[in-house]
Structure 1
């Protein structure tokens, strides 16, 4: 076996030490240097929430080195905005902080005495208003969910929200009320006054297609809970 030349071991040790010092210096430069400090903040994903409001709540320390900025704290502040579902804050070197917002998706309205609450896809009531008339125009078309104690994680609530979200556009726009007695007992009230017995949250495309044909027949109640055996009465 060839022997390592004298002194080569020390050269390796010295080279490694120099590399560690260089890397440490670069980390220190990034951590403390104003050259890599926050000079711009970008807000993405907002539509109903104003970017200015996000920036106001975020309280980003302008001029602070990027590595010293606590992104989790900033995300926590922004997530307290009612219409925000989740937040992701990332660093973009050399000097940009990006706040990526995912807004809540309004699905239904529910009674919240003495007013009305807007419920998102997760079952969270994140906005409340004095009455239906007080709702912003873009929320007035949401159906009313009628059930006992609607809440996030409640199986019946989950089923009702799933049904509404998976309805095709032509049908969702006609629904005014969603009634849910259990996860397998969901029904829809249409603007025409007709009732649709939907059943559970399964097979929405098949049920919607069956209903589309069935609505050409006069009736008061349309049952598509089993789309192969849809009926009218």
Structure 2
């Protein structure tokens, strides 16, 4: 009787040796997976402890940059950053909102973590383009029309607003139609459109009506601006007009396509 063929003997050998190898490799793979899971858990726990439990990454100082009128001390006090707290737990969005609420002079602020132990506050302050008299004080207004601070002394180079809406006629009609806030915004719009050289010489912005805004400059000069519309064109026209007639006392750019100047 013939014995098993070579192919049959190979199949029987694979059948007899296969399962133990599979089991052996399976156990090794399981151990590797378990070790990897344990390592991940330990690594995660270590990271959590370093970030929240250790003394290495805690707030130790608060730096302030970008201030001009405000002092760094004022900003730090208003921010009230929790010194000693884990740096990762500091709510930078809440700090930014709190600074804007407590210090209206701040236009924008960026609170950033400065690893390993600092918080940086990058501040941009509002810049006044117009002043509104309030008794013996002045309210500063920025180019967005935001009234953000009251000061006892007028900052140099910032014109004051003269809102002559108490007069009868067109002034009263403009007040009824547009409201005082709208007229103030138009004055702010004009002040924001002024060329830098003219802005430095502007003492006041006078509003008689929505369409009748004028400027009082140094040396007794004046400018009829008209409405706040086409501010960029009026600014360029005024610059050219003042260069062409340096001795003029009055300039009219209310219609920028037909400007005029008067010497005396």
The normalised TM-score by structure 2 is 0.69
- Give the number of the structure whose residues are more often helix, by fraction: 2
- Deviation of residue 36 (structure 1)? 0.3
Q: Which residue of 1 aligns with 2:143?
A: 121
CA distance 1:224–1:17, change in 2 (3 Å): farther
Q: Which has the larger radius of gyration?
A: 2
Q: SS at the partner of 1:135?
A: coil
Asked if structure 2 preserves the Cα contact closer than 8 Å seen for 1:39 and 1:95, the reply is yes
Output the CA distance in 2 between the equivalents of 1:229 and 1:176. Answer: 25
Alignment of 1:1-233 (within 5 A): 6=26, 8=29, 11=32, 15=36, 18-19=39-40, 21-79=42-100, 80-113=102-135, 115-129=137-151, 134-135=152-153, 139-147=155-163, 151=181, 154=182, 156-180=183-207, 181-182=209-210, 185-199=212-226, 200=229, 201-213=231-243, 215-216=245-246, 218-220=248-250, 222-233=251-262
Q: Deviations over 1:86-134 (max 9, x none)?
A: 22211111111111111110111112246432212222222324xxxx4
Output the CA distance in 2 between the equivalents of 1:16 and 1:215. Answer: 83
Structure 2: segments with no counterpart, 5+ residues: 1-24, 164-174
Aligned residues: 219
CA distance 1:38–1:230, change in 2 (3 Å): same
RMSD (CA atoms)? 3.0
- Deviation of residue 215 (structure 1)? 3.9
